[in-house]
Amino acid sequence: MRYTTAGESHGPQLTAIVEGVPAGLRISEESINADLVRRQGGYGRGQRQQIESDRVRIVSGVRFGRTLGSPIALQVENRDWQNWSETMSAFGDPPEDLVRETTPRPGHADLVGVLKTNSDDCRDVLERASARETAARVAAAGIAREFLADLGVEVFSYVTSIGQAKFSEREPMLDAPDYKPLEIELSDVRCPNDAAADAMRLEIDKARNLGESLGGTFRVIARGLVPGLGGYATADERLTARLAAALFSIPAIKGVEFGLGFQAASLPGSHVHDEIKLDPKFGFTRATNNAGGLEGGMSTGMPLIVTCAMKPIPTLMNPLQTIDLDTLEPTEASKERSDVCAVPACAVVAEGEVAFVLADAYLKKFGCDNMADIRAAVASYKQRLKTSAR
């Protein structure tokens, strides 16, 4: 299963095409819309989200609520398009009063993008490099999520820090899979701990007053996985590598850790590796889950736990210095509006990327034509392993 997206931030719409989806999968536009709402939300989001009200329109590959096995095309309208239809017109001459963007923002794709494409207008680059594109990804990922849900796999996320405000967890590798996704959604910073959530909101308020932006960290969890997804034999089968590549494809992601992650490098082996047990209910299981559900490039059957670091958004209301591309003189970087913090939203995007990679790994292992065959193959595999996925 794979997706591609098209669309500019202020063009008429974003489009996603998902290929490789088996036939017979029940799809609900409402679940996808719920994810789109989650992506738009979060304390610290900017004014653009007050204009948009993202909803998906599925225009191919689904009939009577079930997939046909053909490519699925999804559209998300940009309501802001009506304010940009001349600036972003596909044809005709540029309007006489067009204002080119010539003051690239440090940290965004603006400068390197115009150098690479030989453009004199950063808008040619920033329209596509904008994280608005992640709305299309989340819509596409809705298909992968429905597929995983059908096989008993749930993917959720929560925020662990925003700026200096941290949710200090006691034993995250053991506790995180038991957090309640619904409770996380009730928090506008998507953090399950009230005191930490208050501190995060305060941190965002302080940043807003200073014209600053903030990054943070979050975890993505997947529960209910069978062991043996991915592979150990070749580089491109390794689930760890595929997950990392997918997560690093999200704008602003600067770090990805699996399980204990960097902490494992400073601990002796006996404190890192997860002892193997035989549980009457779960079959082979582990005493701990420091590996975050991955061993040898494969899922272990324990919950997948990935932690990601997002850098602060580059558009600053109190801008950094840059060089004007026309005058070649120092000046302030462009600003129009920005999000103070989009970490809770980014976690929703990351859930989608993880869901896509996991769905694809299931299809590689269990076939890909139709859901009935896939369900039967998964059931027979679980029976052979005498395992009940966590």
CB of 348 to ligand EPS, least distance (A): 10
Q: How far is the CB of 173 from ligand EPS (least distance, A)?
A: 30
Cβ nearer to ligand EPS, comparing 29 with 80? 80
CB of 48 to ligand EPS, least distance (A): 3
- Rounding to the nearest 10 degrees, give the CA dihedral for residues 333, 335, 338, 341: 20
CB of 126 to ligand EPS, least distance (A): 7
CB of 41 to ligand EPS, least distance (A): 11
Q: In this structure, what token pair is assigned to residue 177? A: 């899979």
For residues 213 and 313, the answer to whether their CB atoms sit within 8 Å is yes
Please count the helices (runs of H) and the strands (runs of E) in the chain. 11, 17
Alpha carbon distance 32, 123 (integer Å) = 29
Query: What are the phi and psi torsion angles at 221 (to 5°)?
Result: -120, 140
Cα–Cα distance measured from residue 348 to residue 342, given in angstroms and rounded to the nearest whole number: 10
Alpha-carbon dihedral angle through residues 276, 278, 281, 283, given to the nearest 10 degrees = 80
Q: Which is nearer to ligand EPS, 142 or 177 (CB)?
A: 142
Q: Would you say 297 and 238 are in contact if contact means Cβ atoms under 8 Å apart?
A: yes
Residue 376 CB neighbours (<10 A): 12
Residue 311 or 364: which CB sits closer to ligand EPS? 311
CB of 296 vs ligand EPS, minimal distance in Å: 36
Q: Using an 8 Å Cβ cutoff, are 136 and 5 in contact?
A: yes
Whole-Å CA distances, 89 to 33, 110, 120, 229, 319: 28, 20, 17, 45, 28
* Residue number, 339 or 351, with CB nearest to ligand EPS: 339
> Which run of H or E residues covers position 323?
strand 321-323
Note the helical H segments in the chain. 29-40, 48-51, 110-117, 123-129, 134-150, 172-175, 181-186, 194-209, 239-248, 343-366, 371-385
How many residues are given for the chain?
A: 390
Closer by beta carbon to ligand EPS, 316 or else 374: 316
Nearest distance from C-beta of residue 47 to ligand EPS, angstroms: 7
Inter-residue contact 349 to 138 (CB < 8 Å):
yes
Nearer to ligand EPS (CB atom), residue 215 or residue 297: 215
Nearer to ligand EPS, 297 or 312 (CB): 312
Interatomic CA distance for residues 379 and 375, integer angstroms = 6
User: Which residue lies nearer to ligand EPS by CB, 304 or 310?
Assistant: 310
Q: Which residues contact ligand EPS by CB under 6 A? A: 9, 46, 48, 80, 130-132, 134-135, 313-314, 337, 339, 342
CB-wise, 35 or 295, nearer to ligand EPS? Answer: 35
Q: How far is the CB of 196 from ligand EPS (least distance, A)?
A: 24
> CB 313 → ligand EPS: shortest distance, Å?
5
